[in-house]
Structure 1
Amino acid sequence: MTIVITAFERSPDGGKGLARDTRVRWALEEVGRPYETRLVSFAAMKEPAHLRLHPFGQIPTYEEGDLALFETGAIVLHLAQSHPGLLPDDADARARAIAWMFAALNTVEPPILDLVVAKFQEGDRPWAKERLPRVEDRIRHRLMQLAARLGDADWLDGAFSAGDLMMVSVLLRLRPSGILDEFPGLAAYVARGEARPAYQRAFAAQWAVNAAKPQAG
């Protein structure tokens, strides 16, 4: 059955790999599954046809036969559980890898997303200058904890897993802020993820969509 995912017709980041469809593309590349991409505009994301796939009007979505999924964590977990390559065979190691997926999405990503909101959606508010350093401090606290756990290891728990895929994807969103560079071990960890051939193919696929469209203005 053909796998179809949705992605932005025009990604807000210009195809730099920060849109969440990159995570799904990367997982599909890691497990060796071909897929098709249906591009949707911001207007189409709010229409009934897309809302039937994603009730919150976002991307990506995943369709395979009668199965339709939304939320990158759920999609990547489904792929990891259905195909070899993203989860260890050992049951305990498998459970730990899944725990790291949840940690990436539930513990590390929220303050990073809060930084995006603080800078770009609330930056003109009178209290923004006071709030921004607090948000950045919360991020640094999480990164200190993560860096301590990673130590000198290449990956979070032995071999590369879906937990690393999600964590690297989350940390990539920090690069424009410069905060990631304050943690050389984590910056190197992210670079290892980006160097994986599967990530390179996923990035190229998203970049091709956006590079083909002229910049506005």
Structure 2
Amino acid sequence: MIPTITAFERSPDRGQGLARDMRVRWAFEEVGQPYNVRLVSFAEMKQPAHRALQPFGQIPTYEEGDLALFETGSIVLHIAERHAGLLPDDPNGRARAITWMFAAASTVEPPILELQTLKFGEGDKPWFEARLPLVQGRIRAYLRDLAARLGDADWLDGAFSAGDLMMVHVLLRVRPSGILDEFATLSAYCDRARARPAYQRAFAAQLALATGA
């Protein structure tokens, strides 16, 4: 059975590859597995039918038979565990790759999301000017540590893994702010990942929805 994921009918990023269904599309492409996409509107995302799959009314979701999943980390891990290509065969290597997935979602991404919320939802609030440098500082601190850990390696732990997939997509979400460009090591890391054929296929699929191509 071919899995079905959900994606924005009209993505807020207008095809820049920043919506979270990109992570799942990329994972499918890396492991060479087909998938179907069901588009949902913002109104549909808040309806009971979608909330039965995603209780917080977000995308993406994953459906395969009687299995329904939400949260990109969980979905990507499920794909990686079922198909070769995103997790090492060595148990210790697998554990480290999964740790990097958690680090991306639990450590690096939260202040990036806070920055987006601050800029696009709280720009007119009295606390905006005071909070902005604090949030930016937290992001820079994590990126500085991440760049130091990556060093001159191509990927976080040996070969490309689900940990890199999650981390790169998180980093790409901060690129519009200009902060990522301050870290040449991480910028090059993201460029290497974006050059992967699997990323290019996933990006093209998401872009086609935004442009109607």
Tell me the TM-score normalised to structure 2 length.
0.99
Aligned residue runs from structure 1 range 92-107, under 5 A: 92-107=92-107
Unaligned regions of 5+ residues in structure 2, if any? Answer: none
Residue 63 of structure 1 corresponds to 63
The Cα offsets for residues 108-139 of structure 1, whole Å up to 9 and x where unpaired, read as 00000010011111111011011101100000
Residue type of the alignment partner of 1:61: T
The Cα offsets for residues 23-73 of structure 1, whole Å up to 9 and x where unpaired, read as 000000001110110000000001111111101100000011111100000
Residue 6 of structure 2 corresponds to 6
Identity of aligned residues (%): 73
Residue 136 of structure 2 corresponds to 136
Structure 2: how far apart are the matches of 1:169 and 1:30? 14
Residue 185 of structure 1 corresponds to 185
The Cα offsets for residues 49-107 of structure 1, whole Å up to 9 and x where unpaired, read as 11111011000000111111000000000001111000000000110000000000000
Residue 41 of structure 2 corresponds to 41
Residue 203 of structure 1 corresponds to 203
Tell me the secondary structure at the aligned position of residue 68 of structure 1. Answer: strand
Structure 1: how far apart are the matches of 2:198 and 2:66? 27
Unaligned regions of 5+ residues in structure 1, if any? Answer: none
Residue type of the alignment partner of 1:151: G
Structure 2: how far apart are the matches of 1:188 and 1:64? 36
Q: How many residues align?
A: 213
Structure 1: how far apart are the matches of 2:147 and 2:99? 17
Structure 2: how far apart are the matches of 1:150 and 1:45? 38
Tell me the secondary structure at the aligned position of residue 43 of structure 1. Answer: helix
Structure 2: how far apart are the matches of 1:2 and 1:65? 9
Aligned residue runs from structure 1 range 19-34, under 5 A: 19-34=19-34
Residue type of the alignment partner of 1:180: L
* Deviation of the 1:212 alpha carbon: 1.2
Q: For the aligned residues, what is the CA RMSD?
A: 0.8
Residue type of the alignment partner of 1:146: L
Tell me the secondary structure at the aligned position of residue 22 of structure 1. Answer: helix
Residue type of the alignment partner of 1:193: A
Structure 1: how far apart are the matches of 2:190 and 2:124? 31
Residue 72 of structure 2 corresponds to 72
Structure 1: how far apart are the matches of 2:15 and 2:21? 10
* Deviation of the 1:15 alpha carbon: 1.1
The Cα offsets for residues 130-184 of structure 1, whole Å up to 9 and x where unpaired, read as 1101100000000000000000000000000000000001000011000000000
Runs of 4 or more above 4 Å deviation:
none
Structure 1: how far apart are the matches of 2:26 and 2:2? 17
Residue type of the alignment partner of 1:39: L
